[in-house]
Amino acid sequence: MKFNRRFSGADGLGDRLGGGRSRTLGTVIGAVLIVYLFICLLVGWYWSREPGLNELNVLPVGASNSLTTGSHTARTVRALSMTLLEKPGGFISNDITPPGIWLDNMPSWEFGVLVQVRDMARAMRRDMARSQSQSTEDAALAKAEPLLHFDHNSWALPASESEYRSAVRLLDDYIGRLESGNASFYARADNLAAWIGDASTRLGSLSQRLSSSVARAPLTDGGRERKKTPWLQIDNVFYEARGSAWALAHLLRAVEKDYAEVLDKKNALVSLRQIIRELEATQETVWSPMILNGGGFGVLANHSLVMANYLSRANAGLIDLRRLLEQG
């Protein structure tokens, strides 16, 4: 009996020691998990910070000595592309690991910028770098444009970033040849009007999606019912519009320099600068921790409708600007 009790007591002590080790291990794992989540939260916040309007490095030191017509536009497209790749966190849209996979506002912002980059790259390839419709397109731009249209959600084989970096290298080739006199850029009114038409279409679509954030009576658009933007998509549409406006403001600044003679001849400089001011207003700081969707004249703001207002005014300006450029 004593022998059994002695060994029974030893077993009990072992059980208590094993239980203590399990609880200690669980505590350590829990602490590590909390620290990891906290670090992810901080990194995610840092990665979600949007570049400011004055943070785009379009012209590196010493580049001003070699500038020619088209340099500002081509270099701005390159700088926008590099911003997507080299901002804090890099290109996040195709991330499959934390914290990137948890973020949705920054990927939406990236897509808005990417759409504007794609539109301008297409306009350069199709019109701006060609003297007429029958002329040969620039070889580097012909390769760069489809690379920029590569799927932005691809994380491997190939990754989106690798395709976009290849496009940047081709843009570098075009810029180098342009500024050495071995490539062309034709700053004509018809070329600019065609790109402005594309930009106007983009802003019109974004403005409509933003306005659809509020509950209203069903409307029709070309015989089809216009659907309300889902609640979980409201912030995504907002940040896509914000990214698109940020990129478009920079592209219009470049156009103001490269097409200065055309704009002056058409008395369109004032209109262009007003459009840029409207787009710059979309980049004001959002003080709310989340995108609010208040209705009517209620207590809460509706950030989507404020953004839609600025984009609608900018779009109206683009329509007037295109009309000015198309006039003889």
CA 38, 41, 45, 48 dihedral sign is positive
CB contact at 8 A, 253 and 245: no
CB contact at 8 A, 115 and 92: no
Say if residue 303 is exposed, middle or buried (CB neighbours under 10 Å; 0-12, 13-18, 19+). Answer: buried
Query: Which pLDDT belongs to residue 3?
Result: 45
Q: How far is the CA of 14 from the CAs of 5, 18, 19, 161, 164, in angstroms?
A: 14, 6, 8, 55, 60
CB contact at 8 A, 172 and 117: no
Q: Using one digit for the tens of pLDDT, what is the confidence trace for 183-223?
A: 999 999 999 999 999 999 999 999 999 988 875 645 555 55
Does 176 have pLDDT greater than 70? Answer: yes
Query: Which pLDDT belongs to residue 5?
Result: 47
Q: Provide the 10 A C-beta neighbour count for residue 55.
A: 9
CB contact at 8 A, 123 and 190: no
SS3 of 302, please? Answer: strand
SS3 of 293, please? Answer: strand
Give per-residue burial for 174-183: e unless 16+ CB within 10 Å, then b.
Answer: bbeebbeeeb
Query: Which pLDDT belongs to residue 161?
Result: 94
DSSP conformation letters of 202-224: HHHHHHHHHHTTS--S-EEETTE
Distance CA 116, CA 80 (A): 9
Highest mean pLDDT among 47-51, 98-102, 109-113, 302-306: 109-113
CB contact at 8 A, 249 and 54: no
Distance CA 100, CA 48 (A): 9
DSSP conformation letters of 134-162: TSPPPHHHHHHHHHHTS-TT-BSSSBHHH
Q: Does pTM surpass 0.85?
A: yes
Query: Which pLDDT belongs to residue 276?
Result: 97
Q: Provide the 10 A C-beta neighbour count for residue 6.
A: 9
Distance CA 73, CA 257 (A): 8
Q: Using one digit for the tens of pLDDT, what is the confidence trace for 213-259?
A: 875 645 555 555 667 777 778 899 999 999 999 999 999 999 999 99
Distance CA 254, CA 76 (A): 7
Q: Where are the domains of the chain?
A: 60-184, 187-218+226-327
